[in-house]
Structure 1
Amino acid sequence: MSLPVPSATGADPVAVGPVALEEAGVSLGRATWRRLRRTPTAWVGATIIGLFVLVAIAAPLLTPYEPASTRWASEVSTTNVPGPSAEHWLGLDRYGADMATQLVYGARTSLLYGVVSTLIGLLAGTALGALAGGAGAVGGRVGAWVDATIMRLVDVMLAVPSLLLAVSIAAVLGTSGTAIVVAIGAAQVPVFARLLRSSMLAQAGADYVLAANALGLRRSRIVMSHLLPNSVGPTIVQATLNLATAIIEVAALSYLGLGTPEVASAEWGRMLVAAQERFDEVPRLALLPGIAIAVTALGFTLLGEALREALDPRSRR
């Protein structure tokens, strides 16, 4: 339905369309979902992520072989790596493992490492950002000191490139999957901390904060019950984008030899390491895991960008 509204020039009334009426009184979550479902990139990203998660969960049902099995090692030689066949529809790798099985179980490993490392970075970064942002919003000498101290620590971490910081941490912790997860998670902490702190300081002057202060609510309650819930949205969006980066960095650390020491392990980065010596002869050994990494990272990036635009008030139409 459209309503006639008189124009400022006294001309004929201008019709206000149904979109403007529907937006009135709609919650942020529902309005975001309405914009998100009208975005083609969001559907493409969600489809890619859905397939990725489905493959990771259903890995035992998609292949009859065990991951990292080298039972066909006798068929591989320095001059021959068997290609696709009826038994191995993507062929074997240089260690005699089924290539399709490696890719399927590699999706599970990449998803596990990416999600856990991002959660580590998100939780630790949120804790630091909430402490700094809350202290800065409250004000006072103590609050300013706490905010400045935490932010200087974050600045030091941001001064080191994230991949270099992850490599340094993984090198100290040793070669294992746990080292990769902790290293990538620690490298993400300063990003989440600075983003949440900035969002909380931007919200500190909002009307609802002034109203809470006028009602005499304690500052700690204002920070935890009002500031933090209304500031965490951009951090969640950043976590979606960081998942794409985490998957790439997992592969990068494995490629550098800082992952699990088992050479035939089902992990995409480790597959790239194994393929580099035979790339000229058998390029599929590197192309297949490389494509899997690129497509998966693209899915998380598309969904994260679409979610950020849907939450941005400046993009509302």
Structure 2
Amino acid sequence: MSANELPVTGGPAAEPLHPSIHGDGPGGQDHGGEGVWARAWRTLRKNPVAIIGAVIVAVFVLVAVLAPVLAPYGGSELPGRAEVRPTMIPGPSAEYPLGLDRYGGDVLSKLIWGAQASLLIGVLSTLFGLTGGLLLGLLAGWFGKSVDFAIMRLVDLMLSVPSLLLAVSIAAIAGQSSMAVIVAIGVVQIPIFARLLRGSMLAQKGQDYVLAASALGLTRRSVTMSHVLPNSVGPVIVQATLSLATAVIEAAALSFLGLGGGEPSTAEWGRMLTAAQQELAVAPRLAILPGICIAVTALGFTLVGESLREALDPRNRTRR
């Protein structure tokens, strides 16, 4: 009898001790031979909410990547500067399908280039926060005791400050630039990932497969890195998809507050909202269009993240 199986005294075979060995969890195989991630993918393909979210995200990414091809003008170009008057901002026309802004820039081009700026900030800030959170969560979950206590108190301190206030403070200190925004949003996300990974690792360390692996002579480092950590990152990956939506919104908020750096006429959705405040009565489209872009993009990431969370939730397996 294998050391990883319970003794069978009759009747149906006993349940496997842990998914990493027999597949009843992240990265393993279920009793039907289908991996959890494969099962989640099959479930997502049948989920209309996930499909809608994936389509929104795919369109957003394609627009951002193909911005140099799709945009009629550059992100900082002002082709209609001569046509703009203090009391009149030209609306949609054949040359400018969505009209001009107060600086004479093509609104369509700025929306397209703004997608690229938002994607870059959202992805890089989430990766920054994910890397820092994984490092802190791994240290806390691996060493425990005093190291865990010190890291968690630091995390609690960071979580005690409202996320937007913390991001604004960091961006103001780091300076007005895109890199400052990325760092500010990433730092805000670090405690979320750290606490989530730490809790998931502690739950995994209490499983029987850890005791079985230790009894076989595996070191704590080997057990942690080869078994505990891979089976703990599932919730963190789901949270990362949800954090992308938050990052897009927070990036727009920081730019709206004037902390995004760059010229006021530079293409970025939050900066476009800021510039549109003075023209709400004359040209409300200048605020409505970037606002819709921000809301729809955040909705897409949220739908994908929530659908992935439900697909990976073990409590939902019996319902499929």
TM-score (norm 2): 0.89
Percent identity between matched residues is 63
Matched, 1:148 2:149: yes
How far off is 1:162 after superposition? 1.0
1:261 partner amino acid: G
8 Å contact 1:23–1:31 — kept in the other structure?
no
2:53 partner amino acid: G
Q: Which segments of 5 or more consecutive residues in structure 1 lack a partner in the other structure? A: 1-21, 137-143
In structure 2, C-alpha distance between the alignment counterparts of 1:281 and 1:120, rounded to whole Å = 40
Q: Which one of the candidate residues 80, 83, 99 is aligned to 1:72? A: 80
In structure 2, C-alpha distance between the alignment counterparts of 1:271 and 1:200, rounded to whole Å = 43
1:277 paired residue number: 278
8 Å contact 1:70–1:97 — kept in the other structure?
yes
In structure 2, C-alpha distance between the alignment counterparts of 1:84 and 1:44, rounded to whole Å = 29
How far off is 1:63 after superposition? 2.3
In structure 1, C-alpha distance between the alignment counterparts of 2:99 and 2:79, rounded to whole Å = 13
In structure 2, C-alpha distance between the alignment counterparts of 1:128 and 1:281, rounded to whole Å = 50
1:264 paired residue number: 265
1:52 paired residue number: 60
1:189 partner amino acid: I
1:134 partner amino acid: W
1:81 paired residue number: 89
1:211 paired residue number: 212
More displaced 10-residue stretch of structure 1: 81-90 or 217-226? 217-226
Cα deviation, 1:203-239, whole Å, max 9, x if unaligned, reads 1111221211111211111111111010001001000
1:41 paired residue number: 49
1:229 paired residue number: 230
**Which 4+ stretches in 1 moved above 4 angstroms?**
none
In structure 1, C-alpha distance between the alignment counterparts of 2:242 and 2:201, rounded to whole Å = 20
Q: Which one of the candidate residues 86, 91, 99 is aligned to 1:91? A: 99
More displaced 10-residue stretch of structure 1: 182-191 or 204-213? 204-213
In structure 2, C-alpha distance between the alignment counterparts of 1:168 and 1:85, rounded to whole Å = 42
In structure 1, C-alpha distance between the alignment counterparts of 2:313 and 2:143, rounded to whole Å = 26
1:129 paired residue number: 137
Matched, 1:290 2:278: no
In structure 2, C-alpha distance between the alignment counterparts of 1:91 and 1:128, rounded to whole Å = 48
In structure 2, C-alpha distance between the alignment counterparts of 1:262 and 1:58, rounded to whole Å = 23
How far off is 1:23 after superposition? 6.0
In structure 2, C-alpha distance between the alignment counterparts of 1:202 and 1:63, rounded to whole Å = 49
8 Å contact 1:67–1:266 — kept in the other structure?
yes
1:164 paired residue number: 165
Q: Which one of the candidate residues 111, 118, 121 is aligned to 1:103? A: 111
Matched, 1:27 2:35: yes
TM-score (norm 1): 0.90
Cα deviation, 1:99-126, whole Å, max 9, x if unaligned, reads 0000000000000000000000000000
In structure 1, C-alpha distance between the alignment counterparts of 2:264 and 2:282, rounded to whole Å = 20
How far off is 1:62 after superposition? 1.1
1:43 partner amino acid: I
2:119 partner amino acid: L
1:152 partner amino acid: R
In structure 2, C-alpha distance between the alignment counterparts of 1:172 and 1:208, rounded to whole Å = 47
In structure 1, C-alpha distance between the alignment counterparts of 2:79 and 2:307, rounded to whole Å = 45
Q: Which segments of 5 or more consecutive residues in structure 2 lack a partner in the other structure? A: 1-29
Matched, 1:248 2:249: yes
Q: Secondary structure at the match of 1:301?
A: helix
2:121 paired residue number: 113
2:127 partner amino acid: L
Q: CA RMSD in A?
A: 1.0
How far off is 1:250 after superposition? 0.2
8 Å contact 2:201–2:229 — kept in the other structure?
yes
How far off is 1:27 after superposition? 1.1
1:61 paired residue number: 69
2:41 partner amino acid: W
In structure 1, C-alpha distance between the alignment counterparts of 2:146 and 2:74, rounded to whole Å = 55
